[in-house]
A and B are shown apart, each in its own frame.
Chain A
Amino acid sequence: MAKYTLSVYMDNCPGVLFKITNMLNRRGFNIESLAAGITDDPSKSRMTVIVSSDKFQVDQVVKQMNKIVHVLDITVLEREKMFQRELLLVKVGIKDFATRNEIIELAEVFRGRVVDVSNTSITIESTGDEEKNNALIQLLKPYGIETIARTGVIALERGKYNQN
């Protein structure tokens, strides 16, 4: 099993996300992450899908997705030719002043930012690939994580490789 990153360029209209997820579910494809957002053309959006599978299955995902009316183009992004980002928001409980500083230091190591502080908790924002965010979460766990929200991975091809 490997992870494949699919970049899907599609209509930005009601029901599109449903049709895609419905197909993925119906065909029994295993999805690790899915994130979609509008593009420079407001009538189109781009979705990044991470499929944990083998090459054969990924080909099937692409072919089946191609049959959805709203899909304009699908690219399977190769690892070395793309970069991925994910935004993580993590709220950690704080017991005392010392632990709060420790958490802030940890966040700085990860180039994270403190976005909210209160007497009882601190919220860190971190951007990076999935692995980096996973590592940060592991380190924060002993302090007592209260809530996590992740955007899911988005990806683009590097400079000279142009999509569409």
Chain B
Amino acid sequence: MKIKGTKIILECLLEQGVDTVFGYPGGTILNLYDELYDYKDKITHILTAHEQGASHAADGYARSTGKVGVCFATSGPGATNLTTGIATAYMDSSPVVFITCNVVDPCIGTDAFQEVNITGISAPITKNSYFINHIDDLAPSIREAFTLAKSGRPGPVLLDVTKDVTAAMGEFTPMTKEEYIEELIKTDKVNRPVFRGIKHAELQDGIIDTVLELLEESQKPFVIAGGGIIKAGAEKELKEFVEKYDTPVCSTLMGLGGIDAHHPLFTGMIGMHGTQTSNQAVTNCDLIIGLGTRFNDRITCSSSVFGEKAKIIHVDIDEAEIDKNVQTDCSVVGDLKAVLTLLNQKMAEKSYCHEEWKKTVAAYQEKTVYNESKYLNPKEMIEFVEKETNGEAIIATDVGQHQMWAAQYYTYKRPKQSITSGGFGTMGFGLGAAIGSKIGNPEVPVVHITGDGSFRMNSNELATVSYYDIPIITIVFNNTVLGMVRQWQHLMYQERYSETTLDRAPDFVKLAEAYDIKGYRVDTMEAFKIAFREALESGKPALLDCKIDKDEMVNPMVAPGSNLTNFILD
């Protein structure tokens, strides 16, 4: 059956179970948008204010649902506007398929209007970027792109289709997602290293026994649960493992929700702004079990002194993460769910008890004292948000102090509840991500926690929130400064506050109102409570502009490059 290129694209999306696309049209992608007109009842398109907003929305959708996010953009500036979003998704292993259209094939390379080599630009920030200038390559590439995005270590993939291909007629044989995988497994292609994740990879002989031996030997074990737990859907297996092994467990920023933060074995977040307990425990333990974490510098602070007294077991699906940042004593490359299941089976007969060590860990007291703030106290605010939403809300954040507060004070009880740009640290991520999260989880309250600096970057997406009437509550932690950078200037640059004072327009309440969104000016905790309750009950979008002291700090804090217990703020 011969059908048009644009129809092939949309049929392929349907095969993959896509019902929602975020994007922005333009000249070269006109054909695809024209076709989309006929698919209105099958594919919901969310038109954002800016391609970057669409990219973060697709990413937020993917992170909060576990499905592949899809994002459309036109060539040239449309495509380059995606790049921050692509890199954000890449660093946090979020599966998003980006589809851009380029100028017609004969014009490629001629610097035609709105032409850019987006496959080249996106190469280092995607799992693969496909340039499609032949109709026969279209369906196979789309199917491969979706498979690649979701398999192994997930991540973004980009497809750049020339405009003539979108108009061309091509042979199309429908094929379900499952049929495609079956076909792929029959081919040689599945043996490629990059596709190893598709077949259940066999573990290296005896590796689990080595892990068991190390577990057996250890008196003071400590688990670091990373974002991989969430990507692998291994939260049950993790819980079973830490309970069986009777070990304290911490989480990275990306791993929040991988284990219920109420769990008695949970010690809180680890790293630069981790808890005293987690940082002391990882420094004094004799065995670190890193599960789906890449031992990033925000986790280790100094990779050379990290875990000096401990042996390290590392389980990750991406072989390239093994021994990249820290040297391990034993590593397992594989799907965390499968590895932990196997491990739990082998441990079933045994019994473990680390009572003494757990007492030691419990004795690592949190020292943080909260000073009376002139204005609002971030901790109280976030705790109130948690209480009012019964701890069920999805929290989408931007980047900076508010992001760390949201990580520290909200007690995440399930995976995909914390939506934050951990690896890339993208200011301006939050609102788009909140849109995607709410679209993907219409039943769950979504709270967007942001700062005045981050919010100013992409506040244009309020237009999207307003138009689609997406009931997101945006809480702006407005301290009129670029808080986290100022905190560093305070601690490390002798209070030389170079270009971090943001005492400027707009008035966020008026801005919200300009978008026909209810805005609240909040100066006291009492006002915050009233405003938040009202916003939540209204079921409408709302913005709370909350006054925070500009000298409010994120505690605790470890200096970059130093030992994890060397707190410069406690």
Contacts and interface: CB of A to CB of B under 8 A. Distances in A.
Interface stretch (B318-326, B379-387, B546-554): B318-326
B193 A71 contact: yes
A72 interface: yes
A80 B193 CA distance: 27
Given A15-B131, A18-B123, A23-B124, A66 B193 contact: yes
Given A60-B324, A71-B193, A66 B319 contact: yes
Interface in B108-131: 119-120, 123-124, 127-128, 131
A67 B124 contact: no
B323 A67 contact: no
Interface residues on A, range: 20 to 34
Contacts of B128: 68-69
Contacts of A66: 193-194, 319-320
A22 interface: yes
A14 interface: yes
Given A18-B120, A22-B123, A64 B320 contact: yes
A163 B545 CA distance: 64
Tell me whether chain B's interface is mostly helix, strand or loop, or mixed.
Answer: helix
Contacts of B313: none
Contacts of B324: 60
Contacts of B192: 69, 71-72
A68 B130 CA distance: 12
Given A59-B323, A72-B192, A67 B123 contact: no
B99 interface: no
Interface in A33-66: 56, 59-60, 63-64, 66
Interface string B288-319: 00000000000000000000000000000011
B141 to A, nearest CB: 11
A37 B534 CA distance: 68
B148 interface: yes
Interface string A1-41: 00000000000001100110011001000000000000000
Interface residues on B, range: 10 to 19
A26 B125 CA distance: 10
A49 to B, nearest CB: 16
Given A63-B320, A66-B319, A26 B124 contact: yes
- Determine which residue in B128, B191, B193, B323 has the highest number of CB atoms from chain A within 10 A of its CB, and name it: B193
Contacts of B319: 63, 66
A14 B124 CA distance: 17
A71 B191 CA distance: 10
Nearest to A22: B123
Nearest to B155: A67
A67 B127 contact: yes
A71 to B, nearest CB: 6
- Determine which residue in B119, B131, B148, B320 has the highest number of CB atoms from chain A within 10 A of its CB, and name it: B320
Interface string B124-152: 10011001000000000000100010000
Contacts of B127: 67, 69
A73 B191 CA distance: 9
Interface in B160-194: 191-194
Contact of A19 (B123, B144, B148, B322): B123
A69 B124 contact: no
A39 to B, nearest CB: 15
A152 B320 CA distance: 27
Nearest to B194: A69
A101 B123 CA distance: 52
A60 B325 CA distance: 11
B148 A67 contact: no
Nearest to A25: B124
Given A67-B194, A68-B194, A69-B192, A15 B119 contact: yes
- Determine which residue in A22, A69, A74 has the highest number of CB atoms from chain B within 10 A of its CB, and name it: A69
Contacts of B123: 18-19, 22-23
A26 B323 CA distance: 18
A22 B194 CA distance: 17
A6 B324 CA distance: 19
A141 B530 CA distance: 85
B193 A67 contact: yes
A60 B194 contact: no
Given A67-B193, A69-B148, 20 more contacts: A15-B131, A18-B120, A18-B123, A19-B123, A23-B123, A23-B124, A26-B124, A59-B323, A60-B320, A63-B320, A63-B322, A66-B194, A66-B320, A67-B194, A68-B194, A69-B127, A69-B128, A69-B192, A69-B194, A72-B192
30 contacts: A14-B131, A15-B119, A15-B131, A18-B123, A19-B123, A22-B120, A22-B124, A23-B124, A56-B323, A59-B323, A60-B324, A63-B319, A63-B320, A63-B322, A66-B194, A66-B320, A67-B127, A67-B193, A67-B194, A67-B320, A68-B128, A68-B194, A69-B127, A69-B128, A69-B144, A69-B148, A69-B194, A71-B192, A73-B193, A74-B193
Interface of A: 14-15, 18-19, 22-23, 26, 56, 59-60, 63-64, 66-69, 71-74
> Nearest 10 CB-CB pairs, A to B?
A66-B193, A63-B320, A69-B128, A26-B124, A63-B319, A22-B123, A69-B194, A64-B320, A72-B192, A19-B123
